[in-house]
């Protein structure tokens, strides 16, 4: 992989052949056609669809479609000929008036076949490149040696130029609240405030440095900053779409992101892990790629074109995620045609999809390193399972286990050439049957790709060939299954017969009705339904005779007599459950498929595949990866990750440094943090942006760690710009109303999470348990029903809000109103709105009513039930300060009249609590 | 730097470019509504991509602190309100207003070119409408006898029979009809309208979504969601069975409790505002509580 200078000029190859045989004369035969039919819309005045016919190079390049209008010597490959011949009103040209006459089309074809001769322009080349600032390499500006914090140098210089006086340092109380909320998302506790105020009077600088160190080391730091990253990639725990199914164990990705921020994993490593963590022992990091919404197969239906379209939509979600979060480029715009604003072609878009062709929205066992805690836990469970199975073997050779997603039947291994299942139930629905050999072996002998055949009698079929029997050995779990029912004429229940390619030893089988629902989703009413019950297992021995090997009826009869077997099996079933909770179990962090050869989809339509493209990043950013369509998916992604974090990629460091800036100061230096292209906003301080990008990826500080996010945050929060007072000034407001030049610290309403977590912290009810399964506020629902909020205020919800189930477009009926994202689209920045619904939710919701009570009780308990002291304590718990005299007077009166709870309710609703000081 | 630019995602911003919008959105209520709102010359972004940032883009003059303030419409209007009745799974179009004579012609036959079994099960035969169609009104619009009285008004309706989507799935079809896109995360019709125009009514939500009491449509909140627009522009979801969440005073409080809370809150916010004279964000939040109070008294309970 090589990076060129980004101002490099790319050249189109100019074909030049067939001079001597030219029969078509350009000026006489071709130019009049172009002038009559094309140039009004595709000329220098209007260049519709980005296409012009007034120069040969424009014809060679083509328009927004990304297809060359003219490919010399190849009329059949030239898009111009295609659109001229097309009857499709969307595509056919010219759009109005008559079509070209046949002889005119022939002339054009012949002209192209002869090399598209255009006298005087045969040597012309088109210059491609971009002068857009974001695509130029990062240029670290020099700074005066003595500047204490370089970012202040840039900020103050600009303020001086604009003639805006900077505010003085803020008061220590505001400072500690600001630092706490920005860094950890929680306000400080009164005792910590008291200590800080005391230390601050002795040595302000030291007190603040210690505070910042402490906050960066706090585990709450990761919880706060992970939230920002999850917003950007619209991560959620449901699919979206009609059924909006829960994504089982998707939260392992959320925990991973929290860990990354807490352990300060360098950003380049964070990028590599999220793109190719399956090869790095951090498989759950790939949850990044499937963060967006998707439509599940059952909703897509069976129409082949719908299935192709849905796959293309899912690829587009991946493009959006990668483009907006890491690259700061709106890749999706190039899905149907060349990007309108940025130098991203439709070929670039599909080349980048080729990088991710092995990714599918689904579950898999995440690749963990040997030391991963889930791995070690799992080994313990497996040992216990083996012990219990040995206990059973002392009593019987056949038994049945329930693994939640499937039933597993064991018998004494035996060599066979066939196996038959006779069901006792009148109706059978199976998505997969798997057959295994010895207890130590995990190769599925039943799968069709191993040469196994399966048959049944068609009289059991439901609805013709709608549910073919081959589905039980196709290796796919889910709704695509075999369904069969009792046949009245034959008076027979359904059966299945497997024929192996060669004699094999078989010892157990697994059978499920919809294992996908068990692996991939949760909280559904009918999730664990098995559409089969009792059955017989018969095997065909090598000599051709049949023998019964297991009977579910006999197994259950035996359990009635030998009660201990039941107990041991119960133990195994329980261990299976524990394994799925605590071991490495299939988690919704993406699954792998065999990558298909990627083609450009003309006009974005999967029904119109065109040229093959190799896996690559955008050409303008020197995106050659040195891998082709034969490379493994992981190799493609790993190369792409290296390209992403390469020192010469100008976007990666800029985009992330800007994002971190945004979360510290409220707005980015580039306010459109997910779009650094021409449709985005230019940086307010271009030099500062380059300095922070350079310092982030390649620190000049001797002790600096490249790509350390914590260190960059430390530089930001220890600046004068961050510690300034947020008081308005007439001059400041007049010249810079949004405070984007940072003459004051811009005040802002805090996010939904900060309000909720802050209330719980003040009331003393915050449960600080980190990670794991999200707390639930919703019901268990039917597949196609909507989620309903059942309980959004009870004690089981008293954790930090990052652990609240993040449901796509489901309103939690309190905090969603505070601009909590609906997780449908990538979100570089949450909007901040102020609405009466927010007021109603914070005044009247059960959560606030309940917490106001707890807060009042805590304030009372911590003040020896002296009402005045209780009011003071309530102020301290909510505002980190004591009330002023006036405040105390009115509050105490209301506490006397209506109770302390009412005072607490008002405090929770106050502006001071909702705004960052 | 435009203050609103940062409030809208890049997808939203590129939507405000006419070509991109019409092309992406196709013809659906969401798209049509916005297209009309913005139809006055020059209100759309320019067709020429190079001038995207050059010309003044059309964005409603939105004050994030008072998001519902009335904004002038972009052309003279007669309509004061927009009412959309969206009936997913309603009475069949071919039995009411969508006259398809071929259904009668091929009655009882297998649909040509269709597979015998689809994912819905074995294909049935084509059935003619259960009611006869007759020309109605001056226009001679063919209307079925199922709706004789509505048929009499045929000349007063505007029928669009050409609407179709590229998806065969219900929820994506709903998304498309109400947001213009089959995918998740785009603003609904009412959300766009409220975003563009604000509301003259300060006492009730600007945009309400009255769901079928038996349950919401299949794509749920997408049908009345704000997508990437600020949460202020989402539909407020209620019906006779389920009043807006948190509108009513909590049962454990008396009206005197409420009055005391509000008066203390006003005092606290007043003290706080003294430290930040002229801060619009703080003032707006105070105003939002006053609006909330008006909403409580305006809603019939």
Confidence band for A894, pLDDT divided at 50, 70 and 90:
very high
Contacts of B169 in chain A (CB under 8 A): 241-242, 295, 299-301, 306
Residue B133's φ and ψ, nearest 5 degrees, are -100, 145
Least confident of A208-222, A638-652, B9-23: B9-23
B75 to chain A, closest Cα gap in Å: 27
A479 to chain B, closest Cα gap in Å: 12
Please judge whether B10 and A905 are an interchain contact, meaning their C-beta atoms are less than 8 angstroms apart. no
Contacts of A831 in chain B (CB under 8 A): 7-8, 64, 229-231
Is the distance from CB of B236 to CB of B205 less than 8 angstroms? Answer: yes
Average pLDDT over residues A740-751: 93
Is the distance from CB of B159 to CB of B141 less than 8 angstroms? Answer: yes
Q: Is B114 on the interface with A (CB under 8 A)?
A: no
Please judge whether B186 and A293 are an interchain contact, meaning their C-beta atoms are less than 8 angstroms apart. no
pLDDT(A6) > 70 = no
Q: Which residue of A749, A816, A824 to mutate against B (max B Cβ within 10 Å)? A: A824
In our burial notation (b when 16+ CB lie closer than 10 A, e otherwise), range A501-530 reads: eeebebbbbbbbbbbbbbbbbbbbeebeeb
Please judge whether A817 and B229 are an interchain contact, meaning their C-beta atoms are less than 8 angstroms apart. no
Please judge whether A295 and B169 are an interchain contact, meaning their C-beta atoms are less than 8 angstroms apart. yes
A316 to chain B, closest Cα gap in Å: 11
Q: Is B20 on the interface with A (CB under 8 A)?
A: yes
As to burial, measured by CB atoms within 10 angstroms (0-12 exposed, 13-18 middle, 19+ buried), residue A823 is: buried
pLDDT at A463: 75
Rounded distance between C-alpha atoms, residue A351 and residue A613, angstroms: 5
* A366-396 pLDDT tens trace: 998 888 878 888 999 999 999 999 999 999 9
Residue A29 carries which DSSP code?
A: I
Rounded distance between C-alpha atoms, residue B90 and residue B147, angstroms: 14
Confidence band for A528, pLDDT divided at 50, 70 and 90:
low
Rounded distance between C-alpha atoms, residue A802 and residue A77, angstroms: 53
Contacts of B237 in chain A (CB under 8 A): 811
Please judge whether A837 and B205 are an interchain contact, meaning their C-beta atoms are less than 8 angstroms apart. yes
Least confident of A479-483, A598-602, A642-646: A479-483
Summary mean pLDDT of chain A: 91
B102 to chain A, closest Cα gap in Å: 24
Please judge whether A910 and B265 are an interchain contact, meaning their C-beta atoms are less than 8 angstroms apart. yes
Please judge whether B285 and A816 are an interchain contact, meaning their C-beta atoms are less than 8 angstroms apart. no
Please judge whether A832 and B64 are an interchain contact, meaning their C-beta atoms are less than 8 angstroms apart. yes
A-B CB pairs within 8 A amount to 277
- In chain B, whose CA is at the least distance from the CA of A849? B250
Please judge whether A241 and B219 are an interchain contact, meaning their C-beta atoms are less than 8 angstroms apart. yes
Contacts of B221 in chain A (CB under 8 A): 809-811, 822
Tokens of residue A618, six digits: 């955008």
B292 to chain A, closest Cα gap in Å: 5
pLDDT at A465: 76
Q: Give, in degrees to the nearest 5, the angle at Cα A246 between A242 and A251.
A: 140
pLDDT at B117: 64
Average pLDDT over residues B190-217: 83
Query: In terms of DSSP bridges, do strands B236-237 and B208-209 run parallel, antiparallel, or are they unpaired?
Result: parallel
Summary mean pLDDT of chain B: 76
Of residues A106 and B222, the one with the higher pLDDT is A106
Tokens of residue A612, six digits: 């093959």
Is the distance from CB of A834 to CB of B285 less than 8 angstroms? Answer: yes
Tokens of residue A816, six digits: 């969603």
pLDDT at B59: 66
What are the DSSP calls for A459-527, one per residue? Answer: GGBSSTTSS-GGGGGSS--SS--EEEE-BTTTTB--EEEEEEEEEEEEEEEEEES-HHHHHH---BTTT
Q: Is B5 on the interface with A (CB under 8 A)?
A: yes
Least confident of A15-24, A857-866, B50-59: B50-59
Q: Which residue of A674, A840, A895 to mutate against B (max B Cβ within 10 Å)? A: A840
pLDDT(B46) > 70 = no
Q: Hey, where are the domains in chain A?
A: 266-368+584-646, 396-561, 844-916
Q: Is B1 on the interface with A (CB under 8 A)?
A: yes
Is the distance from CB of A754 to CB of A666 less than 8 angstroms? Answer: no
Closest partner residue to B260 (CB to CB) among A313, A672, A894 is A894
Round to the nearest angstrom and report the end-to-end CA distance of chain B.
Answer: 45
Contacts of B14 in chain A (CB under 8 A): 330, 333, 340-341, 679
Q: Which of A345, A280, A269, A354 is nearest to A318 (CA)?
A: A354
Question: Cβ atoms within 10 A of the Cβ of A12, count?
Answer: 14
Name the residue with tokens 């030239």: A78
Confidence band for A619, pLDDT divided at 50, 70 and 90:
very high
- Residue percentage of chain A with pLDDT more than 90: 69
Please judge whether A241 and B228 are an interchain contact, meaning their C-beta atoms are less than 8 angstroms apart. no
Contacts of B198 in chain A (CB under 8 A): none
Q: Which residue of B223, B268, B282 to mutate against A (max A Cβ within 10 Å)? A: B268
Q: Which of A136, A167, A173 is nearest to A152 (CA)?
A: A167
pLDDT at B17: 39
Tokens of residue A874, six digits: 């309530």
pLDDT(B300) > 70 = no
Cα–Cα distances in Å, from A840 out to A53, A188, A777? 61, 27, 20
Q: Which of A185, A262, A269 is nearest to A222 (CA)?
A: A262
Contacts of B248 in chain A (CB under 8 A): 844
ipTM here: 0.85
Closest partner residue to A464 (CB to CB) among B117, B205, B256 is B117
pLDDT at B47: 37
Q: Is B165 on the interface with A (CB under 8 A)?
A: no
- What pTM was estimated for this model as a whole? 0.84
Please judge whether B64 and A833 are an interchain contact, meaning their C-beta atoms are less than 8 angstroms apart. yes
pLDDT(B30) > 60 = no
Please judge whether B168 and A301 are an interchain contact, meaning their C-beta atoms are less than 8 angstroms apart. yes
Q: Which of A559, A541, A552, A556 is nearest to A422 (CA)?
A: A552
Contacts of B278 in chain A (CB under 8 A): 728, 733
Q: Is B159 on the interface with A (CB under 8 A)?
A: no
Confidence band for B3, pLDDT divided at 50, 70 and 90:
very low
Name the residue with tokens 């949850």: A287
Describe the crossing of helices B255-275 and B280-298 by its angle, rounded to 10 degrees: 170
pLDDT(B18) > 80 = no
Within 8 A by CB and 6+ apart from A458, the residues are none
Q: Hey, where are the domains in chain B?
A: 5-85+167-237, 98-156, 255-298
pLDDT at B35: 37
Tokens of residue A773, six digits: 């399964």
A413 to chain B, closest Cα gap in Å: 40
* A765-774 pLDDT tens trace: 999 999 999 9
CA-based R_g, chain A, Å: 33
pLDDT at A71: 92
pLDDT at B44: 36
Closest partner residue to A242 (CB to CB) among B171, B226, B245 is B171
Confidence band for B119, pLDDT divided at 50, 70 and 90:
low
Rounded distance between C-alpha atoms, residue A442 and residue A114, angstroms: 62
A668 to chain B, closest Cα gap in Å: 10
Please judge whether A727 and B172 are an interchain contact, meaning their C-beta atoms are less than 8 angstroms apart. no
Tokens of residue A305, six digits: 């074109």
Closest partner residue to B291 (CB to CB) among A748, A823, A836 is A836
* B139-157 pLDDT tens trace: 999 999 999 999 999 999 9
């Amino acid at each position: 992989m090589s990076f060129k200078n980004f101002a490099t000029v790319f050249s189109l190859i100019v074909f030049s052949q067939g001079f001597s045989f030219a029969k078509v004369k350009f000026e006489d035969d071709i130019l009049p056609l172009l002038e009559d039919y094309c140039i009004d819309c595709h000329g220098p005045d209007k260049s519709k669809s980005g296409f012009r016919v007034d120069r040969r190079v424009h014809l060679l390049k083509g328009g927004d479609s990304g297809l060359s209008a003219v490919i010399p010597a190849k009329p059949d490959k030239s898009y111009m000929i295609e659109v001229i011949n097309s009857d499709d009103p969307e595509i056919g040209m010219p759009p109005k008036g008559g079509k070209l006459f046949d002889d005119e089309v022939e002339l054009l074809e012949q002209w192209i076949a002869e090399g598209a001769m255009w006298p005087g322009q045969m040597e012309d080349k088109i210059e491609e490149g971009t002068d857009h600032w974001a695509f130029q390499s990062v240029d670290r500006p020099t700074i005066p040696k003595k500047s204490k914090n370089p970012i202040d140098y840039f900020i103050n210089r600009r303020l001086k130029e604009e003639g805006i006086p900077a505010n003085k340092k803020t008061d220590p109380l505001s400072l500690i609240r600001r630092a706490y909320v920005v860094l950890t998302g929680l306000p400080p506790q009164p005792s910590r405030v008291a200590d800080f105020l005391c230390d601050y009077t002795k040595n302000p600088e030291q007190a603040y440095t210690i505070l910042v160190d402490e906050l960066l080391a706090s585990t709450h730091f990761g919880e706060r900053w992970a939230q920002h990253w999850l917003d950007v990639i619209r991560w959620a725990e449901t699919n979206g779409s009609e059924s909006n199914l829960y994504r089982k164990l998707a939260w392992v990705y959320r925990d991973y992101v929290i860990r990354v921020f807490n352990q300060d994993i360098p950003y380049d490593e964070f990028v590599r892990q999220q793109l190719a963590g399956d090869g790095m022992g951090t498989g759950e990091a790939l949850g990044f790629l499937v963060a967006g919404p998707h439509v599940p197969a059952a909703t897509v239906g069976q129409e082949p074109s719908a299935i192709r379209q849905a796959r293309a939509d899912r690829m587009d979600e991946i493009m959006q995620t990668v483009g907006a979060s890491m690259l700061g480029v709106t890749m999706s715009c190039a899905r149907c045609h060349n990007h309108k604003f940025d130098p991203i072609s439709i070929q670039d878009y599909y080349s980048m999809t080729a990088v991710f062709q092995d990714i599918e929205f689904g579950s898999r066992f995440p690749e963990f390193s040997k030391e991963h805690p889930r791995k070690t836990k799992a080994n313990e469970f497996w040992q216990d399972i083996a012990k219990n199975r040995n206990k059973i073997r002392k009593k019987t050779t056949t038994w049945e286990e329930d693994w939640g997603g499937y039933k597993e039947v064991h018998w004494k291994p035996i060599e066979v050439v066939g196996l038959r299942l006779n069901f006792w139930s009148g109706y059978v629905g199976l998505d997969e049957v798997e057959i295994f050999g010895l207890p130590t072996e995990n190769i599925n002998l039943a799968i069709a790709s191993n040469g196994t055949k399966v048959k049944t009698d068609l009289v059991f079929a439901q609805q013709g060939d709608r549910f073919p029997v081959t589905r039980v050995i196709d290796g796919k779990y889910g709704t695509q299954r075999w369904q069969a029912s009792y046949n009245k004429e034959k008076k027979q229940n359904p059966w299945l017969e497997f024929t192996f390619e060669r004699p094999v030893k078989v010892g157990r089988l697994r059978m499920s009705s919809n294992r996908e629902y068990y692996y991939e989703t949760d909280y559904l009413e009918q999730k664990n339904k098995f559409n089969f019950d009792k059955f017989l297992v018969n095997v065909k021995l090598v000599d051709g005779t049949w023998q019964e090997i297991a009977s579910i009826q006999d197994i259950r009869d035996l359990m009635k007599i030998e009660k201990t077997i039941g107990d041991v099996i119960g133990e195994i079933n329980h261990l299976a459950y524990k394994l799925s909770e605590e071991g490495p179990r299939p988690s919704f962090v993406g699954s792998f498929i065999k990558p298909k050869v990627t083609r450009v989809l003309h006009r974005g339509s999967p029904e119109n595949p065109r040229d093959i493209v190799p896996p690559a990043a955008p050409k303008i950013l020197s995106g050659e990866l040195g891998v082709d369509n034969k490379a493994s998916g992981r190799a493609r992604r790993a190369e792409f990750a290296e390209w992403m974090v390469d020192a010469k990629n100008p976007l990666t460091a800029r985009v992330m440094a800007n994002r971190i800036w945004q979360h510290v100061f409220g707005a980015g230096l580039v306010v459109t943090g997910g779009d650094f292209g021409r449709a985005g906003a230019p940086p307010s301080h271009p030099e500062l942006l380059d300095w922070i990008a350079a310092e982030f990826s390649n620190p000049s500080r001797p002790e600096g760690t490249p790509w350390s996010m914590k260190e960059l945050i430390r530089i930001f929060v220890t600046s004068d710009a961050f510690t300034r007072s947020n008081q308005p000034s007439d001059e400041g407001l007049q010249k810079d109303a949004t405070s984007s030049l940072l003459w004051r610290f811009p005040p802002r309403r805090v996010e939904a999470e900060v309000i909720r977590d802050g209330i719980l912290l003040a009331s003393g009810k915050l449960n600080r348990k980190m990670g794991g399964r999200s707390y639930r506020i919703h019901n268990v629902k039917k597949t196609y029903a909507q989620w309903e909020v059942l309980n959004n205020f009870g004690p089981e919800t008293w954790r930090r809000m990052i652990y609240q189930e993040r449901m796509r477009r489901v309103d939690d009926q309190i905090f969603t109103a505070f601009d909590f994202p609906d997780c449908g689209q990538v979100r570089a920045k949450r909007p901040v709105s102020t609405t009466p619904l927010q007021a109603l939710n914070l005044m009247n919701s059960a959560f606030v009513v309940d917490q106001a009570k707890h807060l009042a009780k805590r304030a009372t308990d911590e003040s020896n039930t002296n009402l005045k002291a209780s009011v003071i304590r309530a102020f301290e718990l909510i505002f980190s300060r004591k009330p002023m005299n006036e405040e105390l007077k009115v509050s105490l009166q209301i506490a006397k009249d209506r109770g302390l709870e009412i005072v607490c309710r008002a405090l929770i609703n106050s502006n001071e609590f909702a705004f960052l000081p | 730097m435009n203050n609103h630019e940062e409030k809208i995602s890049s997808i939203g911003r590129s939507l405000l470019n006419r070509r991109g919008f019409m092309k992406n959105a196709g013809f659906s209520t969401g798209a049509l509504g916005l297209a009309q709102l913005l139809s006055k010359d020059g209100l759309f972004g320019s067709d020429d991509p190079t001038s995207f940032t050059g010309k003044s883009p059309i964005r409603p003059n939105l004050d994030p602190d008072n998001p519902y303030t009335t904004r002038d419409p972009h052309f003279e209007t007669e309509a004061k309100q927009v009412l959309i009745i969206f009936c997913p799974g309603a009475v069949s179009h071919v039995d009411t207003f969508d006259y398809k004579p071929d259904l009668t012609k091929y009655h009882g036959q297998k649909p040509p070119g269709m597979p015998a079994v689809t994912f819905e099960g074995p294909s049935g035969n084509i059935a003619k409408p259960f009611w006869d169609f007759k020309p109605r009104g001056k226009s001679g619009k063919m209307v079925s006898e199922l709706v004789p009285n509505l048929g009499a008004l045929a000349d007063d309706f505007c029928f669009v029979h050409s609407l179709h989507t590229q998806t065969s799935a219900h929820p994506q079809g709903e998304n498309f009809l109400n947001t213009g896109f089959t995918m998740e995360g785009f603003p609904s019709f009412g959300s766009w309208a409220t975003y563009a125009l604000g509301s003259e009514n300060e006492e009730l939500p600007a945009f309400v979504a009255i769901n079928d009491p038996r349950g919401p449509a299949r794509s749920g909140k997408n049908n009345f969601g704000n997508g990437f627009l600020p949460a202020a522009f989402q539909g407020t979801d209620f019906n006779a069975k389920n009043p807006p969440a948190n509108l009513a005073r909590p049962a454990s409080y008396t009206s005197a409790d409420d009055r005391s809370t509000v008066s203390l809150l006003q005092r606290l916010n007043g003290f706080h505002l003294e430290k930040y004279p002229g801060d619009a964000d703080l003032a707006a939040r105070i105003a939002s509580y006053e609006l909330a109070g008006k909403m409580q008294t305006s809603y019939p309970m």
